[in-house]
Every structure is written in structure tokens, then in C-alpha cells.
A = this chain, B = another copy of it.
Amino acid sequence: MSSLDLSRAGAESLDTGNPLRGHHDLFDLPEGLVYLDGNSLGALPRSVAPHLARVTGEQWGRGLISSWNDADWIHLPARVSAKIAPLIGAPPGDVHVGDSTTVLLFKMMVAAARMRPDRRVIVIEPTTFPTDGYVAAGVADLLGLEVRWCDPADPAAALDHDVALLALTHVDFRSGALYDMAALTAATHEVGAVVEWDLCHSAGAVPVDLVAVDADFAVGCTYKYLNGGPGSPAFAYVAARHHDDLAQPITGWMGHAHPFEMERDHRPADGIRRMASGTPPVLALSALDAALDVFGDVDMTALRQVSVSLTDYFIALVDARLGDTFKIITPRDSAVRGSQVSLAHPDAYGVVQALIARGVVGDFRTPDVARFGFAPLYVTHVDVWDAVDRLVAVMAADEHLHPSYAVRNVVT
């Protein structure tokens, strides 16, 4: 890090060598805005609006019901899944897209627990994104199981032969710390349990190879680094070896072997399609479909290099220009870091708001975290430099203490 040129010219120089520089123009970002919140809501790819207009006006408006066949809406979930698969190291036939992340977590946790009917424990870690813990507790309640909270620093220590499922988030939403997916998957298998990885903060920003690590299940959202739009459908991965045994609980017609035969009794479809429940959300899936095209020619190794370069650079600048004003709660070792950096500060909410007023968008996470995400496809080193420069200005002028920041927004 010591060799980094911390001037703005240095940032410009780093951007010149960015192998993903050509992708920036695929996004429609407001001029001059520094957007470091792609880990909450990804920016709008330029391909989305025209495609959504076509799907709405032509496929729905003109084609009407015939578009289920003529525009092949019925296979849209499979087509979108096939675009996500290479980003997470999965065969296309092992990925399903549809429902919210929460609903897919529920389906997978129930299915996973049912694969180990003689075991009573779901292990989860207490700093995970809340919905993962809420769903685990809900599933445990429903099935008469028990939730065991592990030590975030050592989840494997909670594993024993009572454990059915270990559910972990690959990259922590608050700290940005990244678990060793291969080692923890292996440890889970050693006790005969299955593992479910939450990829919400990895997919599209951190290389993931689910097949290589031998993962059982994974789930992730598509509105962060995959840029699918607010509340876009989530994805789920089920290892092929589990397809035949997969008994997910929400047995709807779209997961039936022959949906249009309208049989009275449920027969799950072969393969990943049994993860489906209701009619696919065509408009939302179409936005996601177009959004994923920005990844068409992206090399995930290059993506990771850019991500690490951006986060390293941010940390170096904060160290150099802000000393110990903030506590950096994200690992300094890039090998165990996702694509974000989080700064703890007692007035973190005000810091985030004051930065927004200066055109730098990060977000606040309770109780004291200012969180900055670095989406490698559209964030530049100059963005990083400008963000830290304005953060210095905010702190120098105590802008974060402005009284208007005493009351938080509905959504923080």
C-alpha cells in the first residue's frame, strides 16, 4: 500500500489501468454523483429501461396471453438463472430465480432440514443480516428444531452431529468480512450436515465457485451488485446431487412436473424447477434479464482485482487523511474482505447524511456504521478519492453534527 500515489492524479492513473473501465458507460448514473451504495441498490444499467418498455408495450400490450409461448415467458426464469449461474460458479440447471430472498431462504432452510430428519439444530451466526436469523428461527419453530447461534469468529466450533444445517452469509452486510467458503463447507460436511450460503453481498462483486467448494445450497439477492432493480427477484442454488431429494414446502403449480395438466395432486418437477412456486414475475424478471447483460463479458478475476484495488485505496486514503477519526471495522486483509468498507463512528448517521449532501452516497447501518460499497463495474478510483476528500471536509466542518440529522429517515 505504501507505494500508492494518494493524489487525485494518482486516482486518475489507477483508473486508466482499470480493465473494467469500459463498463462504466453501461450504467446510467447521475452526472457528478459518487455512488457507493451499490451493495444496497445497484445502479441502473442502460439496457433495462428500453427492454422493460418493449416487454410492457409489445409483449404484454400486443402479445397479451400469447407471449407466454411467443415471447417464451414460461422459460424466462430459466434464461435469467443461466445468466446468474456463471457468476457464482454454478451450472445453469442448478439455479432458480423467483420470489424474494426471504422466501427462498425459507424454502431452502425447510428443504435442508428435511434432508436430515434425525437432527435438531440449525446453526446461524448472530451478526448475519437479520432476515436470515428470523427465517431460521421461523423454520425452527415450524419444524420443532432449535437455532444455535455460533461465534462469528469461528462458526465451525458450533458444528456437531446434532446439526442439520449451517446457514452463513458469505460477506457480512455490516463489516464486509468474508468467510472461507471452502473450509466451512468442508467442516460442515465432516459432521454430516449441509450448508447454505447467503450470497447477497458477494454475487456480482466477489468471485464465488459453488461447485468447487462443494456447497449444498445458496441464496442471493439480485438488486445489489447484480443491478436488477429495487426488490428484484432473488436466486437460489441447489447442488445437483440434492435435486431429487429436495422437498421445498411451498408446492405451487409452477413447481409441478406438468403445470398445465392441472392434476389434483402435486408431483414435483425434475431438477431445479421444483424450487418454483407461483407464476413468475415477468416484468421484474425482464428488468433483471436486461441488467445481467452488463456481466456478459466480465472476467471475474479482473472484477475481483478492481474490487480489491478500490477498497484498498479507500482504506489507504482514510488512514492517510483521517487518522483515527473512524474505526475501520472491515478486514484490512483483502483476502477476507468483500467489496465494501465500513467505518464505525458514534455519529455515523450524520456522517452518511452530510456526505449525501455533498454528493457521496453510502449508507448507515445501526448502531454506528457508515457503510461504503464499491461496485467494480461502475465505481472509479477518482470516485473513491472524491469520497474521502469530501469526508475530510465533512468532518473538518462538523457537518455531520447538523441538527437535521437528529431524526433518521424511515429507511436508513
Binding site for B on A (CB under 8 A): 28-30, 33, 35, 37, 40-41, 43-44, 48-49, 52-53, 56-57, 60-62, 64-69, 73-75, 98-103, 105-106, 110, 126, 129-131, 133-135, 137-139, 141-143, 221, 223, 229-234, 249-254, 256, 259-266, 277-285, 287, 356, 361, 363, 365-366, 408-412
Contact = CB atoms under 8 A, between A and B. Distances in A.
A134 B103 contact: no
A112 to B, nearest CB: 14
Contact of A230 (B67, B141, B221): B67
6 contacts: A99-B103, A105-B252, A137-B266, A231-B282, A260-B408, A281-B281
Given A62-B30, A131-B278, A410-B68, A100 B283 contact: no
A250 B106 contact: yes
A262 B366 contact: yes
A101 B276 CA distance: 12
A103 B106 CA distance: 11
Contacts of A75: 410
Contacts of A138: 249-251, 266
Contact of A64 (B41, B60, B73, B101): B41
B73 A60 contact: no
A50 B410 CA distance: 27
A281 B233 contact: yes
A37 B285 CA distance: 23
B137 A100 contact: no
Contacts of A265: 133-134, 137
Contact of A283 (B68, B133, B232, B250): B232
B131 A264 contact: no
